[in-house]
Structure 1
Amino acid sequence: MKGWKLLFLLVVGGALGGRIPLAAQEGSDLLSSYTRNFLKSSSSTRIELVQSALADPRLASQVGPFCDFVLSFSLQYSDLLRDDPEQIALTTLVAQRIGDTGYVQAVQTLWRVFIVYRDTKVRVAILSSLAKLGRGDSRIIENLNQFLTNQNNLFRSGMDVDYEILSASIAALGTLGDGSSFPVLFSTMMTAYPEEYKKQAVQALGMIKGDYKKYLIDVIKKNPPLEKLAALNIAQERPSFVPADLGEIAEAALEVALSLYPVDPEEQRAVQDLRYRSVQIIRDNRWSRASTLVLKHFYQVQGDYAKKPEEKAHFLDAIACLGVMGSSEAASALSLHLGLINSTMERTGQFDREVLEAIINALGELGDKVAFDYLLYVGYLPYPADIKTLARNAMNRLRW
């Protein structure tokens, strides 16, 4: 028996690679004593020893390294011990306590134990401590972000998730308050979890400080279509955003929407709505920096309207948006369409009043002389008098 214990001590001491010498180097005879006794103890007495160590006021300054030592033991022998109730209780105890020590050197050990131990209490305790020790640690925050993302994806695929662990993950990311967690928590808020967890995600989002414009743009760029649309809608409701903020967010949304061609019908509708809504916001805030994207959208809607007259409302929005872009390219595109309307009128005597009026008004707003010949020709065709007057007024606004 003595020979077995000695062999066990040598094996464990070597496997933990430097944990005990490090404690000794720190000059703590008491810490060294506790770690030696821990290795000598049986599984049934180990937790009592740890409880005594944690309650010993003489060890107060070394509780962090001691807990890290015990966690390393749990990790090293996880294949044998991770399903053992006594080891689970021990690991939960030190994982919870280490968060109060400020011993940030333990965060990677905590994360590795989190990956290996699947017990709910262990994982919740680790997440609680990571929330206290992981602030500013990009690697830990990235790992937590990815874990919560995976939980969201599992739930959406129809699999069950552990709600205690889910809740602790949300709370940890909220407490850490890193901006990189915003898209993940936003996605959690949009997932069809029970209402209490969605509310918790909203609260966690509120704990993240920083550039909300950037955070919403990140969601629009990275998250699924329905979440992109939700982010754009939320941006409109944020009272602190000035027109330039809304314009920049809508520009990002339009750029993303124009590049997406989803197969899923629900996502198709979300992308279309994202495109139409972003154009309205760009128009309302006169965000001319998006001119190239608005022009691309105009040509797309122009084609849609040619095939589906019911798309007229979106076409009218696109025309109005081009009218506030202030670019020669916008004026050229609208002038060419006016030329097409004039040609149709000349051949058939038919025209769409709403579209014609929208284009004339937009050209007047742009004031680009490229429109002169097209507006002038309106007066030579058998349009109603009010249309001709509208065209003359637009001509008077052109800049030479």
Structure 2
Amino acid sequence: MKNRIVLFSLLFALLLQGMWLFGQDQTALLDSYSRNFEKSDIRTKLQLIQDAAGRNNASLAPLFLQAVNWSINLSERGRDESTIRQMCLVAVAQIEKWNHADARMPIWKLFIMDKDSNIRANILKAIAVIGKEDRDLAGQINIWLDEQNQIFSTGKQPQITVIAQCVKTLGALNQDSSFQVVFNAMNAGYSNEVSALCRGVLLKLEGDFKALLLSIIASGTMKERRQALDLALENTAMSDADKG
């Protein structure tokens, strides 16, 4: 019995040592990538990020945030290269994959700075994963969508794929503060797809659904009031008394 206890203790000690060494190896790997990234030219940076992504290693998530921050700083100096966008697409995908929540505000800053529809849609897709429970970020996205609704009403053509992903992301963030702006987007006339997405999100958003609808019924147009009533009838979470 005593020998078995000694053997177990030795095995446990070896396991702890192995875990410590593994952690040290991962830190060294991240440090190596980080140092090489800082001193490399843009094409080598892209190759480093692509290589790091291929390692399928969660400990490298901070490296992808480093790439995003570097891109933001470069953009602020007026640089705009396709290689940078290509690198950012890889970095954002990895940030989403590893749910690296620390990156949520930096990638939103990149979203505001970069007008490319592909990178914007991918950033919003990542935020749907890493930005949950962040009410402040949801509020900023609400403001952006509200601005797009107003711009579209003037006749300017929006980035429909970005609008659609924005609605999906607000649905994933699931904040009742998004109700009004998503309702407005549903009525903006973007496309049938966007309107359907908005309707689906409105029916699933958490919050006092009855109060949200009543606010629209009280101040909305006749069309908006009818749509609010339709949503009330369609919402399975509301009681018959509330619908009445």
TM-score (structure 2 length as normaliser): 0.80
Question: Using the alignment, how far apart are the partners of 1:146 and 1:109 within structure 2?
Answer: 17
Cα gap change, 1:226 to 1:241, in 2 (>3 Å): same
Question: Using the alignment, how far apart are the partners of 1:82 and 1:170 within structure 2?
Answer: 30
Question: Using the alignment, how far apart are the partners of 1:82 and 1:231 within structure 2?
Answer: 46
Q: 1:183 is matched with which residue: 176, 180, 183?
A: 180
Name the counterpart of 1:53: 52
- Opposite residue 225 of structure 2, the aligned amino acid is L
Name the counterpart of 1:38: 37
Question: Using the alignment, how far apart are the partners of 1:227 and 1:66 within structure 2?
Answer: 50
Secondary structure at the aligned position of 1:193 is classed as coil
Secondary structure at the aligned position of 1:28 is classed as helix
Cα gap change, 1:35 to 1:235, in 2 (>3 Å): closer
CA apart distance, 1:188: 1.1
8 Å CA contact retained: 2:101, 2:131? yes
CA apart distance, 1:81: 6.1
Question: Using the alignment, how far apart are the partners of 1:218 and 1:172 within structure 2?
Answer: 24
Name the counterpart of 1:128: 125
CA apart distance, 1:207: 3.2
8 Å CA contact retained: 2:216, 2:228? no
Aligned 1:1-400 pairs, distance under 5 A: 28-57=27-56, 60-80=57-77, 82-220=79-217, 224-226=220-222, 228-234=224-230, 237-238=233-234, 240-243=238-241, 245-246=242-243
8 Å CA contact retained: 1:174, 1:207? yes
- Opposite residue 62 of structure 1, the aligned amino acid is S
CA apart distance, 1:195: 1.1
CA apart distance, 1:46: 1.5
Give 5+ residue unaligned stretches, structure 1: 1-26, 247-284, 286-400
Question: Using the alignment, how far apart are the partners of 2:231 and 2:149 within structure 1?
Answer: 23
The percent identity for this pair of structures is 25
- Opposite residue 46 of structure 1, the aligned amino acid is K
- Per-residue CA distance 1:55-95 (angstroms, 9 max, x = gap): 225xx232321111111101111134652110011112111
Question: Using the alignment, how far apart are the partners of 1:81 and 1:87 within structure 2?
Answer: 12
- Per-residue CA distance 1:339-369 (angstroms, 9 max, x = gap): xxxxxxxxxxxxxxxxxxxxxxxxxxxxxxx
- Opposite residue 174 of structure 2, the aligned amino acid is G
Cα gap change, 1:237 to 1:47, in 2 (>3 Å): same
- Opposite residue 230 of structure 2, the aligned amino acid is I
Secondary structure at the aligned position of 2:97 is classed as coil
CA apart distance, 1:210: 3.9
**Alignment length (residue pairs):** 219
Secondary structure at the aligned position of 1:148 is classed as helix
Structure having greater relative contact order (Cα 8 Å, sep ≥ 6): 2
CA RMSD of aligned residues (A): 2.5
Cα gap change, 1:117 to 1:235, in 2 (>3 Å): closer
- Per-residue CA distance 1:245-297 (angstroms, 9 max, x = gap): 35xxxxxxxxxxxxxxxxxxxxxxxxxxxxxxxxxxxxxx7xxxxxxxxxxxx
8 Å CA contact retained: 1:175, 1:207? no
Cα gap change, 1:43 to 1:204, in 2 (>3 Å): same
8 Å CA contact retained: 1:63, 1:98? no
Name the counterpart of 1:349: none
Secondary structure at the aligned position of 2:49 is classed as helix
Question: Using the alignment, how far apart are the partners of 1:219 and 1:140 within structure 2?
Answer: 24
- Per-residue CA distance 1:2-31 (angstroms, 9 max, x = gap): xxxxxxxxxxxxxxxxxxxxxxxxx81211
8 Å CA contact retained: 1:111, 1:126? yes
Question: Using the alignment, how far apart are the partners of 1:206 and 1:236 within structure 2?
Answer: 9
8 Å CA contact retained: 1:179, 1:208? yes
TM-score (structure 1 length as normaliser): 0.51
